[in-house]
Structure formats: structure tokens, C-alpha cells
Amino acid sequence: MSTNIFELNSKIVQVSQPFQPREAGRVNLVGRTNECRMVLAAWIAQPTLPPLAPLLVGEPGVGKNQLVYELARYTNKPLYILQGHEDVTAEDLTCAVRFSDNKDKKMDYILSPLATAMLRGGICFIDEIGKLRPRALAPLASVLDERRYLDSTLLGERIHADPGFRFIAATNTVDLSHDALPEFIHSRLRPLIEIEPPPRDELEIIVKERFTRISRASESLLKRFWELWAEFSPEIPPSPRETVYLFGLTLSLADEEAGEDAKPGTSEVKSLLPPKKRHLETAFEQLFQLRGLHNV
Amino acid sequence: MSNDFSPCEVKVFGSTLHAVPSVHFRIAFAAEVNRICNETKTRPEAIAVELGPVGAEAVRQWMTELGIGQSHRKHLPIMLGLVKRNRYLKPSMRRRAEALQRETGKLLDQIPDEVLFSELGFSRRSSLLLSPSDSIMEAIRCGCELGIPVYGVDLEDMAEPEQKTELFQDPGSAIGRVTDYVQFNQEFTQANDEEIDPRRELTMAARLKGILERHSRVLFTCGMAHWKRVQDHLMTPSLQSAQIDMSSSDPAKLLQYQRVIVDPRIAIQFLDRSPLITKLYDRWRAHPLINKKPMPYDHPVFQPYHQHLLRKTYRRYFKGQDHGNWDRIKRQDWSASTALEHLVESHAQVNMHSQPTFYDIYTCARSMMSQNFCINLMEIFMQIPWQKPNSMGVSASLEAANSGITWGKQIVRSNDDDEDDLFQLRTNPGQSTTDSFMAHKEIEVPDVWSKKDKDAIKLISTSHYHSWIPWDNLLGALSWDAICQSKKNEYVKTSEEFSSHILEGIDMKSTLRAQARGEEKYFVTDSKHVRVSADPLDCTEGLPVVWLFDGQDDIGNCNYECYTQNLFETLRHARNHDYFERQIRQFGSSAVAVVPFGKKINDDPIVKHPQFDGHLFEMRGMAFFSPLFPTYQQFAHWFAKTRFKRTPINDFPSWYRLRSAALTEITAISKIDEDAIRWQDMLVCAAIPYAGQSLTVVTPPAFELAPFVYRMAARMGKSIRVISLRRFPQKDVQRMRKIYMVKGMFDVEADSIEYKPGIGNALGEDINLYLDRVPNQWRYF
């Protein structure tokens, strides 16, 4: 039996695949110690209380998902991600069916990431939970309280959570406004952990770790970046995603210029040089000044 | 030179150096310093601290001016600080500084503070905070109290050393075992600033040698990270001793230290687990010459306190409305409260804190509860008398500045009439910048700091007779015990479906309801004896408690007294100032806390003790109306909670008034002759009008209250719960019968009583005696 097949009370079901952060080119998480500790504290089960289900709230690009990947790595648990959007239904949260590729079978049961995490004792992460419609969230009620089970009408089974099962969700701040989550879910998603933009020194470490090629010029580039940012948005700090995209584009602009300078008709390209301030300024103009904040 | 077992004790030139390597601002280490100074065997002849000579002298002088000295206990205001200009830049920053000057075209002193800080890590000023929980401040304070020299052995001027993040055991676990803690952890704290610290440690060792030549026993306290190297230098024979420049007390030099009052938002980070705990430590710490015995390590100040504070917050936040009338948010908070407590403990566990800290509790509450709950929690934490700005002749203050461009950094402002400087505040070791920043943003500043003057009535300091605090504690403890025990005897009316016995009669309501539903059922009532525990959310029910110690009718030469609290002194702590003022105008300014019945004893050996200044009143009975709190702040809460209805209040309170009111009620129900009423019955009758639903009476064996007493209670809709005096330890009862009224001064700023020195000696009782028995509901700690 392959690893994505599971026998559930004599029914053969297909399970979801876990996400492997390491395979996805994950980089080390910088900072966020307090937030990680809060999640780990919430996940400690007490004799009279099941583990809590934290909800991460923050602006786009501040690093909510990175934090969850780090937690999965730290706890060494498989991570199952369910991406929230408006078309997710209650059944998508439990179990779906599809026409089988197997000639001997008509239909296959596909267990959702949530149900799979419950069976396998992994972490279920619902990203953008604020985008789910309230009625789609109903199955979560029994999962997140002391019952810790999930009923699937389609499957005709009750899935009990493995003791190692943990739950976490994330949403953007804007999606949480005007009571997007119904009370029965909101009261179960606790603690609510606000993810703020990282401080300046952490952002600088992120840039230096991601772009080792620019390390020699990083001090002057970073200094210029802060000057540009202070003029552009003195009150709101940049998010890590915006910063990483900016320096990524800066690097690409420098590489592109190096390619242009190469002799025509040869495949020789100038050795890759660190980007200059002008590359950063062009990238900054492209990403922020022309498009406005948080459009990256 | 030799070094014996203890890693914190060094012998040099035949003299002994007791070191307290510490984690700054943590009570465990301050308590260790206090213990060494209190014990006769280890009491030092001189104190040395990790401050420059002028810095140490500036602190010592200010403490002396505050009244800290050999003859009396004095609390340290929270919080004072000294700010000094920095002159030095780290050598490694020289090139960067030159580059910065070239880039900006300005000299260093013309470059803005934020730029200097972000580019060179340079702050124009540095601060020295006089926190009662810091071992250095405790050492200087003990030096003042013992009247011995205090030396600063560190460098006076240096570039600010870099503070690296260090991982070591929670300093809370060092309580009572500092030596073991240091031995285990000091190897993890070696990673210091290699540019600055080696020079400092060498200087400290050389100066310590110089001090040890002159004094045979010296107490030295410094950061734990320095101790190993200082100790190694001390053991190096080639290191010559150095003398400290004795001109450190030169007024011109002292002027470089500017005195400031510290903003609570800044101060909170330097007060151990929470401001409240530090204030309590300050209150209960022993004066080496007056108390002579250090605080025991099982003192409540050193114990976990988070559940008590959370419950206090619940009481405050959920009070006032029935469960049914709560809004959605309150209901959510109520349902999350259990999870919150679990989360607080788990959070402390994950952060390796032996006890949850202020940040554990507040961070968890912020993520679990509503904003209103967090505000209530914060107010409970911040309930200490913060030093007001522009007080004590200090015009400058250290305040939180707008963080602006330096996200995540904690920038503070030192301001006075002449200058306004920004600089970075160094955080505690083991405390992240994020924590500090969070506190900076979120903390609700007490009113005194938002410049509102609530003190409409002039504050007064009074010197007269006060009851001795251990007696207050014992009385509170036994009375609460009496309330709890009497509750266990409660009978509760129940309704049951009729089966074979009519029990106490037909329950008409239930029967009619059943019939209306078309059910042929009959209900009867019964009284069941149930075990009820005292409701932790209601600490007023069951009071007054009337104690009757003997059943004899004759009055003899006994009389009644009234021990009162001055309501004016509660005014400054009142949350609703106008309401308090109205109540005081309406009812009067004195509240009767206890009415004892008995007589003065003059031939008691304690009364004749030369250090005893007061009198003894031996009781035969007493009515206890309100807990005897150690602070007026608590009294203010009590009166607000009870709406001034549970305590007799009058401008001129007297037993005569209470008796007259009781007699009016008695004569309305019974034609009993006034002279025939026993004193015990009269005491209970005087207490009945001030009961909630019930009052508690503790009676001697074989004593019964007169029937008219029960009738009077029933007429006023109250019940009397009677329990036997035999349920209490004889020794405690005997002690409680004796009230020693002793001379003391009420310190308005500190909100506590300062007794005359020697009272504890005369009574043979430590001031902390019975403290651990005070019920949680009435605790200040």
C-alpha cells in the first residue's frame, strides 16, 4: 500500500500530502522567538484541557507562514496545509470524492489536509482562514474543542484526532475585521497571536542571509534602503516579503546589466558583481513608488 | 590568599570577600545581599558595588537624603534614577565614526541621536535605575542602614558595553540558593563585551584588593558575567591593590549625575516579575539593624503569585453584573479564563521561567482575552504608589519617547527644563527587546503621570497608636477561617418530588408549575446540610465576625473601644474620587474596623519592656467589621466594593452610637430590659446591621445567644452562623485576645505604617509573622 493510501475502518481512503518546508528552499527563520514560544505553549496539552488552536494575525508578507514552517520543523511533525478561499466547502474540510483511476473502483475518497493531520498526528495549518465562508467552518467546531473528532457524511465515519494532532490557522488583519469569523470558531481559535513587522536589525539579517552575493555591499545598500524607506513611508515599517522582493529585483537588475555589457556574439557574461545603489533605487521605484505600498 | 569552597567567598590578605554575583533587577539576589547584611556572622564592614566611585556615592547620598539610615526603615520610592552623559565611543567604532562624519559633513555632536545610535550604537546618556529589586541598590541601601562605607569599584567613564543575549536558568529559581545558581550558570554568562569588560574587571579586582586591605569583611555585588574573571584576578598575586579616589564625594563630580523620576512604562522593566512584587519586597525586606532577621525564603513575596493576581482581575472585571447580563465579550472572556491560566503556565514553562512573570501573564492575556480584561489586569499590576513627576525636588524625568523610525528599539527621553535628550535604554539580560517594546506601547500610565491632580484633600502623616501588623494578620486569618468553617454548616433549601414523606412541607411553587404543565406531580421542600466552600469571588460575605472569648455575664471593669480607619487617607486611592468624597460628607470620616470589649493591662512584662511604646488591651470579645489591610489602597477598594455599607462610619465613632442603634432595633422586637441584655448579645446585635446576608459568631463552649438576637437578624433579613471557639487552636486564640497598640507613623507616600524601632524585639515577633496565613482574598501580595 502506498503512503498516500490509508485504511480507515475497512474503507480505503487517499490522504493529503504533507508540505515539506525544507524541500521548498526554506531559509532559517529570523527572530519570532516570542511568537514561536506562544504557539508551543498553546500546543501543550493539559490534563483537563486539550491543546489550544492558535490564530496568527498580521499584514500580508510579515512571515506568518514562515513561522508555521519553522514550528513544523522544530516539532518534527508533518505539516498539512489547507489554503483558504471563498469556494471552500464544509466537505472540502473533511473528505471529498473523485472518479477513481483504478479500473476496479468507481470512486476514491480523498481525505482533506485537516482529516489527514488528525489521523497522522500532524499539524494542520489553515492559511487565510478569514477567507472561508462561515458555513464551511462548521466541521471545525468539534475538532477544536475537547471532542477532537471530525464527522464525514460522505465517508460515513468519525475521525478521531491522534493525540499528537495540532492545529494552527492564519489570516490577514484586514480579513479579520468586521467579524469575518463566526463566534463559534473565533472563541475556539485562541490564542490570537499578532505578527508585527520585524524590527530593523532582524530585517537586515534576513536580507544578508537570503542574498549572500550582496554581502560585501550590503551595509551601504541597506543604509540606502532605509533612507529611501524613511522618505517613502516613515510610519509603516517594511514587511520582510517586500524587502526580500526588493533586494531580489535589485540583484536581477544588476545581473541583467552585466548580461547587457557582455560582448555580442559570445556567451561570456561579466562575472556576477554585487548590485549598486542605482539598482536598488530603480527596484525601489518599480516596486513601491510606482505601485504604492503593499502591492508587491 | 586562599579560596574556600564557596564560589562566592574569597579570602584575600586574611580578609573575607562575600560576593553576590547577580542577574540585575531580580529579587533573589537583592534578598541574598539583604540576608548577608542581616546575619551577624556575615555582616560586612564595607560594601563594594559594580558602579563607578562617583556613581556609587551619588546613589548613597540620594538614599541618605531620602531618610534611609540606621535608626528607621524607609521605603524606596518607585522609581528614581540617575542619568549621566556618555563621553566614550567603543574603539572599534572609531573608523565608522570618522566615515559617518565624512558622509554627513558634520561633527559627531551635531549628528542626530537616532543616527548615532543606529550607526555607532552610541547613546548620549546612560541611566542608573534605583530599583529596590536590584542587588546593587540593595547593597548600597544596606550600607546606609548599617552605617558602613560604600565603595564603587568599577570604572567611572567608559563606552557602553554591548549586552549579548545570554541563556541561563531563570533567576527566579535562585531564591534561597544563589551560590548554587551562580556555580551552575556563570559559565554560560562569559560572553561579554571583549573590548570593554576585561578592563573593568581588572579595575574592580584591584580596587577590591585595596578595600580588603582596610576591611576584614566586605560584601561585593556585581553582574554574574563579571564574577569569574574578577575572582581570577583577585587570586592573582601579581595584581597590585588600587586605592579608590576618595574625592568621589566632591559635589562638583556628583553633579554629573542628574536625578530623575522614572516613568512607570520604563520602570516596569526593572522591577523583577512585576511592580507589585517589587513593592512588596521593598515593604517586607528586613532592616539589618532593626529587624535583625532576614525575610524567610518561604515568604509569599517569593512564591508564585499569578493565580492570585488573575483571580483579583476576574473579581474586578466580572463584578457588578449578573452572569445573564454580560455582553458577548464578557461571556467569551469568562469561557476563556480556564484556558488562559493553562496558557500562562505553559508559556512560563516554554520560556523556562520558574514562575510566570508579568510578561507571561500579560502576553497570554492579550492573546486570549478582550482589551478591557487586559486593561483591568494591567491596572492590578500597576497598583502601587508610583513616584509622581516633579516631586521630591526632582524636576527631570525619564520618559518613554515615541519610537518613530527605530522600530523595535526602546528609546527614552530624559528631560528637564534645559535639555531633552533621546537615548536607548538597555534591557535586562534575559528580556528581549520585543518584550520591552510591547510594554512601552501598551502600558496604561497611572494617572499621576498623566499630570492629573486628584489630591483635592491635603495628605497628612500621622503619628499615633496602631495595632501591630502580625496581630492584624492573625485576626484576618482566623476570621476568614471562621467564615469558611461556618459556611460548611449551611443548610440549603431543596425541592423534591413527593414520594413517601412530606418532609418540611409542600413546595407550592414547584407543584403549581408542574400542574400547569399538566404533570400530576407534587413537590415537597427539604433542607439539606451541604458543604459549601467560601466563594473566592466574594470576600465580603460572612462579615462581620463576632468573637466571644468568654461566656461570663458580668462586665467587671471592662469597656468597649472603637478602632478606626481614617477615610480621608483612602481618598487618594479612590478610583471614583467624587463618589468617595460624597460618601465621606454624608456618613463621616472614620470607619470602625474593630470593636473590642475588654480592659487595658498595665502589668504585662511586654508593656514594661524599655523598647515597647504603647499599651495592651486584653479582650473578652470583639466585633470585626472589615479586614485590617496593611495599605489604604486596599481599604479604598474595600469601601468601594462594599459601598460604605458594611462598616460603621461616623465623624466621631463610639460604642455608644452603635449600642443606641442596636437598642432601637431590639426594643422594636422585644420588651427586654436594657440592663438585662448580656454584653455578648449586645455585641452581636451591634454587628447585625452591617452584615451582608449573614454574619459569623464564634462562641465559647456551652454558650448560646439569646433568642431575640436571632429574631433581630431575621427581621433585618440576615442569618447568623454560629461556630465554636474550640475549632481554633488555643495558642492562636490566646494571642488574638491581646491587642498591642504601638507607636507608629503612617507614611503617606509609601502607604504603609512605619513602627518605632525595637517594637518587634519587645514583642518577640517578627513583623512578617502570620503573613502567610492572611487569606488570599485580603492579601496585598
Measured in angstroms, the CA of B368 and the nearest CA of chain A are apart by 5
- pLDDT (mean) for B40-49: 93
Which chain A residues touch B435 with a CB distance below 8 Å? 34
Tell me the pLDDT band of A133, cut-offs 50, 70 and 90.
confident
Which chain B residues touch A187 with a CB distance below 8 Å? 332, 335-336
Query: Residue B332 and residue A234: Cβ atoms within 8 Å?
Result: no
Strands B752-755 and B15-22: unpaired
Residues 38-67 of A with CB under 8 A from B: 38, 40-42, 44, 46, 48-49, 52, 54
Measured in angstroms, the CA of A217 and the nearest CA of chain B are apart by 15
- Partnered with residue B542 across adjacent β-strands are B695
Residues 4-43 of A with CB under 8 A from B: 33-34, 37-38, 40-42
Residue B436 has pLDDT above 70, yes or no: no
Cα atoms in the 13 Å half-sphere on the side-chain side of B63: 31
Over chain A, what is the mean pLDDT? 85
Other beta carbons within 10 Å of B555: 13
Any B CB within 8 A of A141 CB = no
pLDDT tens, position by position, B544-599:
999 999 888 888 888 888 888 878 777 777 777 778 877 887 788 888 999 999 99
- Partnered with residue A124 across adjacent β-strands are A80, A167
Residues 428-487 of B with CB under 8 A from A: 432-435
Q: Which residue of chain A is at minimal alpha-carbon distance from B365? A: A191
Looking at residue B431, what is its pLDDT? 46
Nearest to A37 among B345, B350, B408 (CB): B350
Looking at residue A189, what is its pLDDT? 93
Q: Which of A170-174, A205-209, B388-392 has the lowest mean pLDDT?
A: B388-392
A128: left (phi over 0), alpha (psi -120 to 50) or beta: left
Q: Which residue of chain A is at minimal alpha-carbon distance from B347? A: A41
Q: Which of A16-30, A253-267, B177-191, B590-604 is modeled with the greatest confidence?
A: B590-604
Query: Residue B339 and residue A199: Cβ atoms within 8 Å?
Result: no
pLDDT tens, position by position, B337-386:
989 999 999 998 888 888 888 778 888 998 999 888 888 888 787 777 78
More confident of the two residues A75 and B121: A75
Dihedral over alpha carbons A61, A64, A68, A71 (to 10 degrees): 110
Nearest to A38 among B367, B407, B409 (CB): B367
Nearest to B338 among A49, A199, A234 (CB): A49
* Residue located via cell numbers 488583519: A173
Looking at residue B454, what is its pLDDT? 36
Strands B9-12 and B15-22: antiparallel
Residue A244 has pLDDT above 80, yes or no: yes
* Cα B179 to Cα B20: distance, rounded to the nearest angstrom: 8
pTM, two decimal places: 0.63
Query: Residue A202 and residue B408: Cβ atoms within 8 Å?
Result: yes
Residues 678-737 of B with CB under 8 A from A: none
Peptide bond into B79 cis (omega under 30): yes
Over chain B, what is the mean pLDDT? 80
Tell me the pLDDT band of A293, cut-offs 50, 70 and 90.
very low
Nearest to B368 among A190, A198, A201 (CB): A190
pLDDT tens, position by position, B470-525:
898 899 889 988 888 887 556 667 888 888 778 778 888 889 989 888 888 899 88
Looking at residue A129, what is its pLDDT? 93
* Cα B740 to Cα B617: distance, rounded to the nearest angstrom: 6
Measured in angstroms, the CA of B365 and the nearest CA of chain A are apart by 9
pLDDT tens, position by position, B176-220:
888 889 888 877 776 567 777 888 999 999 999 999 999 999 999
More confident of the two residues B631 and B62: B62
Q: Which of A236-240, B251-255, B414-418 has the lowest mean pLDDT?
A: B414-418
Q: Which residue of chain A is at minimal alpha-carbon distance from B437? A: A199
The sheet carrying A79-83 orders its strands as A79-83, A123-127, A166-172, A55-58, A192-195
Q: Which residue of chain B is at minimal alpha-carbon distance from A237? A: B407
Query: Residue A183 and residue B328: Cβ atoms within 8 Å?
Result: yes
Which chain B residues touch A146 with a CB distance below 8 Å? none
Query: How many beta-carbon pairs below 8 A join chains A and B?
Result: 72
Q: Which of A133-142, B120-129, B269-278 is modeled with the greatest confidence?
A: A133-142
Which chain B residues touch A230 with a CB distance below 8 Å? 405
Q: How is B223-258 classified by DSSP, letter by letter?
A: EHHHHHHHHHHHT-TTSPP----GGGG-HHHHTTEE
End-to-end CA distance of chain A: 44
More confident of the two residues A227 and B389: A227
